[in-house]
Structure 1
């Protein structure tokens, strides 16, 4: 298994919040910077800046260009990345700690209770 990005890439990743259910990471890089291979569990990614990058996983490459304000579900994965654009990358990851279908189910609370 590839390293935890917070440990292996501390210049790019920092923990913003962590509890027993999630870990929220902030990621930043500059044009031309690359990461080593690392792993993320199932996550939600929220882009805070627009960016263009190449992601590498196994023997495949994927060019990605996303605008700021995009939210995407990401299945657990190992990858490395390269900022191929001319803007910084600024992203938040909400990593889930529980496998799918696990964890307590509670009714949603929208407002004050009676």
Structure 2
């Protein structure tokens, strides 16, 4: 974390700007688009409470501290609630990952 205590050094658009982009933001939400390819891995980053909308089917390994889980998501256009988390994600499948995150402020 930064000295400000706002977690901005764990913002995914800062840690992995080649994978995350802001497509909308206002005072209440921030909407991110995430895209990667098989084998891609993120750096440690944080998401607040969010809704994730899948735009592809994919497999990922999520590392949250000492906890490692493998998840498969899809089909496209599925919405899932995600509580706030700090993690590393890795595409362990054979397809690209494409999702939209609607982060609550």
TM-score (norm 1): 0.83
Corresponding residue for 2:57?
50
Q: Does 1:90 align with 2:98?
A: yes
Corresponding residue for 2:20?
13
Which SS does the other structure have where 1:25 is aligned? strand
Which SS does the other structure have where 1:87 is aligned? coil
Q: Which has a greater percent of strand?
A: 2
- The structure with the larger Rg is 1
Aligned length: 97
Corresponding residue for 1:31?
38
TM-score (norm 2): 0.90
Unaligned runs of 5+ in 2: 2-6
Which SS does the other structure have where 2:94 is aligned? coil
Q: Distance in 2 between matches of 1:53 and 1:76?
A: 18
Q: Does 1:4 align with 2:19?
A: no
Q: Distance in 1 between matches of 2:67 and 2:23?
A: 31
Unaligned runs of 5+ in 1: 98-114
